[in-house]
Structure 1
Amino acid sequence: MDHQPEPDDRSWVRAFHRGYAVLWVLFGLCPPAVAVLDRSSGTRSWTLALLAVLGVAYGAVRGFRGRPALRPPAYLGMLIAGQGALSYLLNGGAALFVASLPQFWIYARTPRSAIAASGAAAAAAVAGGALRDGLATGNAAVTVLAYAISVLVGLLVHRIAADAAARTDRLGVELADAQQRLALAHQRQGAADERERMAREIHDTVAQGLASIVVLAEAARAGLTAAPEQSARHLLAIERTARDNLAEARVLVGAAPDHHAAEPIARTLRRTLDRFAEDTGLTVDSDLPDLECDQATRITLLRCTQESLANVRKHAVASTVSVVLAPHADGIDLEITDDGRGFVVAGARGFGLDGMRKRLADIGGDLTVTSAPGEGTRILATIPTSEQV
């Protein structure tokens, strides 16, 4: 309340000003207009003209569509002068003064200027009436009392508004600080998630490829003298694996498009299984129907297959591997089984299985691992369709 309010889009502010304008006309302008009807024609004419000027000035300071045509200091000066003139014409003007008191707090720039302006209006009202009937009148007493009450109420309301503004500022600072901390936390979490994603990609592609190269290189070296043709095949497999790893590394750093995304998942898995069978000599049975799936599902199926085959190569000591891709109404199942030595699932620790679980969880899927010592291993990856995710 210590400055002229700027145009505000809040409906309650506009409603307040409209409501007060109606009350000011009814209780500020109408009583003097009614009281002067039985006075002389000169007094009546001057009074009605003065009330009309004040009404027009009030409309001008309120403005049209938020654009005031009269500056608040000029209007308050007119209101003070009009208050004194009206008190002189009617031998008092307490009704207009009381109804106009809020305007001094609305349009004055500071509480001090509001107190000074409303005090000047009170003095003008008392002086105007005193010129006719002296100071000892009911209008003078009401004017002085109303002024004193308005000062107390105005200061109280200004203090409440200032406290509310201070609280708002503090809350704004706290909110900005919380938003900054939250953004920093999101940034850190995003960086951690990206590191984990890159670690999974490297583990499932480059690291697995390098492990295959090591195994093939050892086999090739061991057969240089006894089985040179087999060593040649191993060297060819090393070259092929290295090229594939180079392509995967380029995909990871964004230097090349993902070649797996452009072909059906069944063809990609068949090529992966053929390469595995050629490198390991294991029997691989597969049932891979052609099916449509999005890129995220395609990549997840491929990575789960690669990780499962890598585990078979490193740990299972198996002779046969079976891979079945089964679409159904709720999604897609990928089942990979081997007849190897198995393991205790509850005691399994490793980045590979955790990586598969997280990959599947990212697209709403689930991983089930079934195994026991001497009974082989069954990996079941379940991926819902996009409608179920």
Structure 2
Amino acid sequence: MTALAGPSADSFWAASLRRWNAVCWVLFAAMALGLTAMHRPGGSKYAALALLGCVVLCYALLDRFPGNPVVRPHVYLTVLVLALGGLAFLRGSYAALFMVTLPHYWMFGRTPRTSMAFLGLATAATLVGSWSRQGWSLEFFSETLVSTLIVVAVGVLIGLWAHSVVAQSTERARLIVELERTQAELSEAHQRQGAAGERERMARDIHDTLAQGFASIVVLAEAARAGLTADPARSAQQLRSIESTARENLAEARELVSSAQRQDVAAAGSVAQTLRRILDRFAEDSALTVVTDLSDVVCDQQTRIALLRCTQESLANVRKHARASTVGVILARRPYGVELEITDDGVGFVPEEATGFGLYGMRKRLVELGGRLTVTSSVGDGTRVLAVIPLEPPAPGGEERDKGSEGTG
């Protein structure tokens, strides 16, 4: 039969051989006793015993030394075929030996084709041996030929069935091994993906907090240095903004370190209050006109952080690129969630050509919360940033319907 793959194959063959070996030794001993007791002394009796002894010796070597370079499975099967032919010629209980060793063709042939070939040779050898002794007699046709073909047919059917069962077991074992390997690869991939996601989250948080704060400090420091002589009061105010921004950066750094211990619930109205402080500071530092319409929105901490980060990133982009004079910020609770809109009357840009990390980071942060980011802008027409994050509805209603039909504006 086809050899199984892996450790399960070794254990299967070892168990099968151990069980059948015990049976074979008993049957070989019974055959030897039968030849000794039932046949009259003479050359044919000793020749039959010698043939049986050769088979038993080869089988013992194969059983005791499976890796023996002299007696291999095919050598044993060849000796068995010759012994069957000789016993059939000598009338030496060849039928009993044929039936006892019938499973050996499938156990040691290893493949159906090889097993069938040796079984065919054994059948031919017994028939030729019997024909050489009996000739074309009625006994040869009615007993020897018919009984031999019946035994061989049954052996073939049983062997093919057993081969099919073992082949299915082999395929099942192979699939199990592949499944275990795939599960291990998936687990490793998930670990890598989790580590990459955590690195990306940390990079996004650092960019949206510390990096933006340091950029503000640099801008304020340059402006303060330039105005030390011409406008000392303005420079003093900018130095205070630098100090305040540095303190906020320090607080943000501590918050990032302890983010795993933060609670997931924020106080009612905290988003609007925090946004007002950010926008007041921005208006003071940039001297731009800031128009706000901020509603008190109750949301969890992750949504609150996403809204704050989107606001900080958008204001940083206005400061660095827009050359605007007016900025508008609207925070509102909609049936489908919370909506943050930031507009400016600056020079605008082409969103598809943006290459920085800021817009990507904002969009990624919102997607993780089930939301979306829409950026509308063109050169000379200002910019509109719309962030939408779904929230649990305050009462049963048509949130899913509103969410599906809502547009980006």
- TM-score by length of structure 2 reads 0.56
Instruction: Return the alpha-carbon distance in structure 2 between the equivalents of residues 369 and 375 of structure 1.
Output: 13
The verdict on how the C-alpha distance between 1:162 and 1:283 changes in structure 2, with shifts beyond 3 A counting, is same
Q: Provide the C-alpha distance between the structure 2 equivalents of 1:350 and 1:230, rounded to a whole number of angstroms.
A: 32
Q: CA deviation at 1:148?
A: 6.6
Cα distance in 1 for residues equivalent to 2:218 and 2:260: 26
Task: Look up the match of 1:296.
Answer: 302
- Which of 351, 362, 366 matches 1:345? 351
* Paired position in structure 1 for 2:366: 360
Q: Is the counterpart of residue 265 in structure 1 residue 271 in structure 2?
A: yes
Residue 249 in structure 1 maps to residue 253 in structure 2: yes
The Cα of 1:205 is off from its aligned counterpart by 0.6
Deviation of the 1:212 alpha carbon: 0.5
1:377 to 383, 393, 397: 383
Classify the secondary structure of the residue corresponding to 1:341. Answer: coil
| 1:326 paired residue among 308, 321, 332 | 332
Question: After the TM superposition, which residues 18-167 of structure 1 pair with which residues of structure 2 at under 5 Å, given as runs?
Answer: 151-167=155-171
Cα distance, 1:145 vs structure 2: 9.3
Matched, 1:188 2:176: no
Partners of 2:226 and 2:210 in 1: how far apart?
A: 24
Distance 1:145 1:228 in 2: 117
Matched, 1:228 2:206: no
Q: 1:380 to 1:219 in 2, by over 3 A?
A: same
Q: Alpha-carbon deviation of 1:174?
A: 1.5
State how far apart, in whole Å, the 2-side matches of 1:276 and 1:257 are: 30
Contact between 2:347 and 2:381, CA under 8 Å: does it hold in 1?
yes
Inter-partner Cα distance in structure 2 for 1:146 and 1:250: 87
User: Take 1:361 and 1:309, find their aligned partners in 2: how far apart are those partners?
Assistant: 21
SS at match of 2:290: strand
Aligned letter for 1:202? Answer: I
Q: Which residue does 2:7 correspond to in 1?
A: none
Given that residues 264 and 300 in structure 2 are in contact (C-alpha distance below 8 angstroms), is that contact kept between their aligned partners in structure 1? no
**C-alpha displacement at 1:184, in angstroms?**
2.3
Q: Is the 8 A contact 1:335 1:378 kept in 2?
A: yes
| Aligned partner of residue 290 in structure 1, secondary structure | coil
Q: Name which of 276, 281, 285 aligns with 2:287.
A: 281
1:273 is displaced (CA, Å) by: 0.9
Q: Which moved more, 1:328-337 or 1:341-350?
A: 341-350
Given that residues 260 and 299 in structure 1 are in contact (C-alpha distance below 8 angstroms), is that contact kept between their aligned partners in structure 2? no
Matching residue within 169, 174, 185 for 1:170: 174
Displacement of 1:261: 5.8
Is the contact between residue 260 and residue 268 of structure 1 (CA under 8 Å) also seen in structure 2? no
Query: What is the CA-CA distance between 1:268 and the residue it aligns to?
Result: 1.5
Determine if contact 2:266/2:299 at 8 Å carries over to the other structure: no
Partner SS, residue 332 of structure 1: strand
Does structure 2 conserve the Cα–Cα contact (< 8 Å) formed by 1:261 and 1:299? Answer: no
Q: For residues 241 and 347 of structure 2, what CA distance do their matches in structure 1 show?
A: 26
Secondary structure in 2 matching 1:375: coil
Letter of the 1:236 partner, please give it.
Answer: R
Tell me how large the CA RMSD over aligned residues is: 3.5
Deviation at 1:384?
2.4
Deviation of the 1:337 alpha carbon: 0.9
Change (3 A) 1:258 1:302: farther
Q: 1:201 to 1:346 in 2, by over 3 A?
A: same
1:150 CA displacement: 5.5
Matches within 5 A, 1:196-215: 196-215=200-219
- Offset from partner CA, 1:282-328 (integer Å, 9 cap, x none): 22111111122222221211111111110111111122111001212
Deviations along 1:223-262, whole A, 9 cap, x unmatched? 3333333222222211211121122122223368559963
State the Cα deviation string for residues 143-173 of structure 1 (Å, max 9, x = none). 9998776654443332222222211121112
CA distance in 2, matches of 1:152, 1:348: 74
Equivalent AA in structure 2 for residue 185 of structure 1: A
For residues 200 and 283 of structure 2, the distance between their equivalents in structure 1, rounded to whole angstroms, comes to: 30
TM-score by length of 1: 0.59
1:47-106 per-position Cα deviation (integer Å, ceiling 9, x unaligned) = xxxxxxxxxxxxxxxxxxxxxxxxxx9xxxxxxxxxxxxxxxxxxxxxxxxxxxxxxxxx
The structure-2 alpha-carbon separation of the partners of 1:227 and 1:341, relative to structure 1 and needing over 3 Å to count, comes to same
Compare 222-231 and 167-176 and name the one that shifted more.
222-231
Cα deviation, residue 211, structure 1: 0.2
In the alignment, structure 1 residue 240 sits paired with structure 2 residue 257: no
CA distance in structure 1 between the aligned counterparts of 2:337 and 2:344, rounded to whole angstroms:
24
Secondary structure of the structure 2 residue equivalent to 1:262: coil
Q: Distance in 1 between matches of 2:191 and 2:364?
A: 20
> Structure 2 regions of 5+ residues with no counterpart?
1-21, 23-102, 108-145, 393-398, 404-409
Paired residue type of 1:230: R
